[in-house]
Structure formats: C-alpha cells, structure tokens
Structure 1
Amino acid sequence: MTEKPLILVTNDDGINAPGIRTLISVMNTIGDVVVVAPDSPQSGMGHAITVDATLYVNKVKVDDGPQTEYRCSGTPADCVKLAIRELLNRKPDLCVSGINHGSNSSINVIYSGTMSAAVEAGIEGVPAIGFSLLNYAWDANFEASKSFVENITKEVLKNKLPDGVVLNVNIPNLPLKDIKGIKVCRQAKGNWVEAFDKRQNPSGKDYYWLSGEFINLDSGTDTDEHALENGYISVVPTQFDLTAHKFLKELNTWNLNR
C-alpha cells in the first residue's frame, strides 16, 4: 500500500478563515493533512518571524475533518518553522498556503504572509504552493477554486519542483464557467501608490491608516496581471534567491576594492 503524502497546510488569514477551510477540505482528498496556522489574521506580515516574544501552539479541532490541527500565536513563517522542526513526525511532502482572501499577484508577493509561508517551506526543502483568490471578503466563495487547486497540487506532487522554487497561484474571482483555464506567467512589474490617512483618536492622539492603489506598470501579455484580467488563473514559479544574477558580471567591473 502506497503511503499517502503528508501535506502541511497554513495561511495568513487565520485558522478559522473560509479560505483555509476550503484548502483543507481539498487536501484531505489527496493526502494526510496537518494544519499549523495563525490564531489570528497575519495579512501583510511578509516573512516576519517571532524573535522577541514567546510562541504558543495549541492542538485544536475546528471541524469534523480527519486532519490534525494546531493554532499558533506566531506569523505564517513561524507556523511553517514550528511544523517542520517540532510538530511533525517527518518532513512533509508538500506545503500549501492559503487560500488567501485577496490577490498576491505582482509586487504583492513581497508583502504576502501567504507566500512567505510557502517560501519558508521551500527554504526547508519542501515543495510549496501559495493559493490566492482575488476576493478580500471574509465570505468569499471558494467553490470555483477547488478543482484547480486539486489539479495543481497533484501535478506538483507528481512532477516535483526545482530546489529554490515555489508556485504562486492566483485565481480570478469568477464563477467556474467563466474561468478560461490556467496560464504559466511571469510576475508583472507594478507597485502601490500609497498614502497615509492621518486621524486622531478620542484622546487627541494622532494615528495613521495606510491606504493605496495598485498600479500595473507592465504591458506584457505574459504576466500574472494580464492573465487574471482576462479570466485565467496565473501560476508564477517564484524563487527566493534574490541575487540579481544578470548584474553580477557588470558589478565585478567596479573598483570596489580601491
């Protein structure tokens, strides 16, 4: 009898978020599932880790599924570290993160707790996928995502991923019949034009509320943004080696040792 793959599930919206509950239900059809997820929302935390506070992990039962679940007081990256180093009896065959409530395409990947959890797994040598739905609402409908999440997961388990590469999967907020398919893409060049709304609390103390607008600066037709705008799921192979390899040769011509 072939051993089922061990699948680690995490997210950044918190263990009770509808997105991760959907992801767990899909993963239960594929392998043995262990969930280690934050006890509260951790969106926008990026790859933050807890170094100056205690971490708490409690075994919980959120629903009646067969998965084993742990609620963690830390960040998404903390969850993956604790899972691999402390909670699992063997290295997982796969880590899936999400399904995030909101986009992690283009530059959003830098800030994403969802993708940082996947990247942390990749650093540990575990194949990983981050899944996101382009709907920020808590009550977002994830039904149309299920079949695609299942197929992509099975393909990763079957074909493996290169060392240092994880997948960033974004799903348009469309009914199943309107999703045209999947496109393998590059990350679009874009950024956020941000502003801080300055306010005062009842005691007269100033505080700030971040707001902003995403600007797509990329006119290419091979990008994640283009795919999503045209009704396709985008799949971007993402590497966590941040070296600008194309610039190494030129940088070596500089007189840095003067």
Structure 2
Amino acid sequence: MTKDRPVILVTNDDGVQAKGINELIGCLRDLGDVVVFAPDGPRSGMSAAITSTQPLRYRLVKEESGLTIYSCTGTPVDCVKLAVNEVLGRLPDLLVSGINHGGNMAIAVNYSGTMGAAMEGCVFDIPSLGVSLLNHTADADFSEACRLGRMVARRILKEGLPRGTYLNLNVPDIPQVKGLKVCRQAEGRWEREFMRTASPGGEPAFWLTGDFVNRIPTHPDNDTLALDSGYASLVPCKIDVTDYAYLNTLKENYELKITN
C-alpha cells in the first residue's frame, strides 16, 4: 500500500477463486491499492455469521504492486474483521463486496454473505458497497456489473457515505442495462422454498429453492421491479434496524411508569 492512493478492501461470499471477485479486482485497481481478503471457498447465505468456536487462519495468495490477495478460513464477516483488526494496519477508504454470483435484492439482503460483509464494513465506519449480478453461473458475463460497480465505487471514494449507511447494487443479467435506479428494498418473501427429494437411503431430503413474491400493494420504486425492467438497482441500507416510527408507541404501551 502507498500513502498517496486510497486503500480498497475487497471480499465476497463465493470464495477467493470465484470469477466475480476477480473481475471486480480488475475494474477497481486503477482507483486505489486493492487488498483482497476473501473466504477460501463458497460461503453463500452466511449473512452476518461469525466464527467463535474455532480459530481463524489466513494465507497470502498473491502480492504485487497495488494488489495483495489473502485467503481466509472464515465467513465474509470474519474476513472483514480479521483484515481490519489484524492485517491492514489502517482503515480502508472503501470496502466492496462481490461481485456476487446471483442477486441480493429484496429480502435476500438479510441472508446474503455478500451484504453481511458490506454491513460489517459499515460497522467499522468504512464506506461500503455490495455488488451482485443476477446470474448464478460460474462463468457469467460480469461486464455490466463491473462497469456499474466501478462507477459507484469511484463516486463513494469522492463523496463518501453517511455514517451507518451502506449500498446494495444489483445488476440484471443483460448485455447492457437501461440505466441505474435508486430504489427501495422490495417487500415480500420467498414461497415454495424447498424441493423435496430423497436420500440414497430413502429418507426425505430438501433443496432450498423457491419463488420471490412481492407484497401487495407493490411500491413502484422497489428494486425487484427495476431489475425486471432492465435497470440496475441501488438501495441504501442501514445497520440501525430500530423502527423509529413505532418507537414512541412502544414506549407508551410497554414502559413501566416509576412513581414515588
């Protein structure tokens, strides 16, 4: 790392060898010194999981001018914690998590290891961004996700983000998006979430699957609708999950009145 260039911490939940993170590295290198600290294998669906019952380990994978790559035995959040606390020696100027193989829109933001890492960066007051492409295949075309991810990353380096806010960028799997829309997170849930099969011994076994269904009424500016229309979606997220609209009502109904 050099003193006159921003430090960009890069991680993911698909593993350090995934195409998505390596495409991301390539498109961010001209913006600063890139330090990659990513899991040694797939960790999808880890959300904000941390490792607390066994030690973590990491190893240096590659080091050259402007780029250092580490592989870690932990979760995406473990990677951020270990990089910030033990490896970097300073807070990075930006954290980018991704590019995820598969979308992280709507309720998926709560399950995603990609977004868990972005949230953890935000906990450390690092301007943080998660980037996802709506394609699960190993050899997907990340061109548009790289272009848009770099554009947003460059803007964050210049302007920063509000404290406690991180960004969730999703890109549809098309050759060229119609544009970028700033959206709200869609309300809804997954239905028919499991496909029932059987183990070799005949015991029931279940594969996670399902269909996302928007809650009615559907807000016209939600992220799923933007993506379905050929736009990339950018959603500002908060680490503070307090429901301030309900806070005072809850106080009135639940707080004990202490009287003399």
Q: Considering the TM-score relative to the shorter chain, is it more than 0.5?
A: yes
Amino acid at match of 1:13: D
**Match of 2:54, SS?**
coil
Displaced runs of 4 or more, over 3 A: 194-200, 203-207
Distance in 2, matches of 1:132 and 1:106, equals 12
2:168 alignment partner, SS class = strand
**Whole-angstrom CA distance in 1 between matches of 2:183 and 2:196:** 38
Tell me the amino acid that sits aligned with residue 174 of structure 2.
L
- The residue that corresponds to 1:55 in the other structure is 56
Q: CA deviation at 1:237?
A: 0.5
- Within 5 Å, which residues of 2 pair with 1:152-167? 152-167=152-167
1:202 aligned residue (200, 214, 223): 200
1:195 and 1:118 map into 2 onto residues whose CA distance is: 26
Residue-by-residue CA offset, 1:114-134 (whole Å, 9 max, x unaligned): 000000000011000000011
In 2, Cα distance between equivalents of 1:87 and 1:100: 24
Consecutive unaligned residues of structure 2, counting only runs of 5 or more, are none
Of 7-16 and 140-149, more deviation after overlay is shown by 140-149
Question: Any idea what SS the aligned residue of 1:147 has?
Answer: helix
Task: Report Cα offsets for 1:213-245 as digits up to 9, x if no partner.
Answer: 111225222111121111111110100101011
Give TM-score scaled by structure 1 length.
Answer: 0.93
What letter matches 2:252 in structure 1?
A: T
Q: Distance in 2 between matches of 1:211 and 1:148?
A: 28
Distance 1:65 1:141 in 2: 27
Structure 2 counterpart of 1:192, from 180, 183, 190: 190
**RMSD value, Cα:** 1.9
SS of the aligned residue for 2:106 comes to: coil
Which residue of structure 1 lines up, in the alignment, with residue 249 of structure 2? 250
Do 1:99 and 1:130's aligned partners in 2 also have CA atoms closer than 8 Å? yes
Aligned-residue offset at 1:249: 1.0
* TM-superposed deviation, 1:195: 3.6
Q: CA shift at 1:204, angstroms?
A: 4.7
Structure-to-structure mapping, 1:168-179, within 5 angstroms: 168-176=168-176, 179=177
Q: How does 1:45-124 map to 2 (within 5 A)?
A: 45-61=46-62, 66-124=66-124
TM-score, length basis structure 2:
0.93
Question: Higher mean Cα deviation, 220-229 or 200-209?
Answer: 200-209
Corresponding letter in the other structure for 1:165:
T
| Residue 15 of structure 1 pairs with residue 16 of structure 2 | yes
Q: Which residue of 2 is the match for residue 222 of structure 1?
A: 221
Distance 2:188 2:254 in 1: 33
Aligned-pair CA distance for 1:151: 1.2
Distance 2:126 2:20 in 1: 22
Contact 2:132/2:145 (<8 A) preserved: no
CA distance in 2, matches of 1:153, 1:78: 22
Pick closer, same or farther for the CA change 1:231–1:206 going to 2, 3 Å: closer
How far has the Cα of 1:65 moved from its partner?
A: 7.8
Deviation at 1:14, TM superposition (A): 0.4
Name the aligned partner's letter for residue 44 of structure 1: G
Distance 1:23 1:255, change over 3 A: closer
Q: CA deviation at 1:2?
A: 7.5
Amino acid at match of 2:127: P
Unaligned runs of 5+ in 1: none
Do the aligned partners of residues 15 and 65 (structure 1) sit closer, same or farther apart at CA in structure 2, a change above 3 Å counting?
farther
Q: Paired residue for 1:213?
A: 211
Provide the C-alpha distance between the structure 2 equivalents of 1:159 and 1:22, rounded to a whole number of angstroms. Answer: 24
